[in-house]
Amino acid sequence: MFDSARAKWQYVYMHRYDGREDVDAAGLREAARACACANLRQAARVVSQIYDAALAPSGLKCTQFTLLVTAHLAGEETINGLAERMVMDRTTLSRNLKPLVRDGLLEAVPGSDNRTRPIRISAEGKRALADAYPLWKAAQDAVMGALGEDRFEALLNDAGQATALATDLPTAQTP
C-alpha cells in the first residue's frame, strides 16, 4: 500500500542547450503564413481529398487516375519519359506504377533494346479510365464551380508557373 505521508518527491529541472539561438517568432509566423511549399502542399492535400472521394467508386486514387491519363495520352513511354511528363522523381513514379501494373491497368512492353521497358495503358486500364472519367469530371466541375471560372483558370496558370520552377531554378543545396 502506498503511504503518501512518507513519500517524497524531488523535481529536477533540465535544460538542453545546443548553442543555437531561438528563431525569431515573427519570422516563424511569416514562414507559417507565406511559405510557398507549405501552402501549395496543403492546398494539394485538400484538392486530392476531393478527387479521391469522387473517384472512390472506381477504386482509383487521383494519383492513379492521373497516371492512367498520362500513360494513355503518351502511348508507349519509358519510365524516365513518364517521370519527365509528370514532373516526378523516377523512383517515386516507379513505386506508384507498381500497383497499376500489378492490377493489369498498365503494362510494361519490350523496348527497342533490353535496357528499356516502355509502359503503356492496357485494355483493362482503358476501361478503368472510361469508368473513372465521369467521376473525375464531377469533382472537376465541383472544384471549378467553387472557385469560379476566372479564379480556376488563374489557379491553373499559377500552378503552371510554379511547376516551371522545376526547370528554372537550381536545386537548393543543403550545407
118 has pLDDT over 70: yes
Q: What is the pLDDT of residues 32-42, one digit of tens each?
A: 889 988 999 99
| Domains within the chain, CATH numbers bracketed | 38-160 (1.10.10.10)
Q: What percent of the chain has pLDDT over 70?
A: 83
Q: What are the Cα distances from residue 117, in Å, to 41, 63, 97?
A: 32, 22, 13
Work out the average pLDDT over 101-116. 88
- Which residue has better confidence, 20 or 95? 95
* Cell 479510365 -> residue: 129
Contact between residue 78 and residue 116 where contact means Cβ atoms under 8 Å apart: yes
Best CA proximity match to 143, nearest among 35, 36, 43, 38: 43
Q: What is the pLDDT of residue 60?
A: 97
Q: What is the pLDDT of residues 132-162, one digit of tens each?
A: 999 999 999 999 999 999 999 999 999 999 8
Q: What are the Cα distances from residue 18, in Å, to 10, 21, 33, 47, 161?
A: 26, 9, 27, 40, 40
Best CA proximity match to 133, nearest among 70, 58, 48: 58
Q: What is the pLDDT of residue 61?
A: 97
**Tally: H helices and E strands in the chain:** 7, 2
Q: What is the pLDDT of residue 127?
A: 98
Whether the full predicted model's pTM is greater than 0.85, yes or no, is: no
Q: What is the pLDDT of residues 90-103, one digit of tens each?
A: 999 999 999 999 99
Beta bridge partners of 120: 107
String of b and e for 14-39 (b: at least 16 CB within 10 Å)? Answer: eeeeeeeeeeeeeeeeeeeeeeeeee
Q: What is the pLDDT of residues 46-88, one digit of tens each?
A: 999 999 999 999 999 999 999 999 999 999 999 999 999 999 9
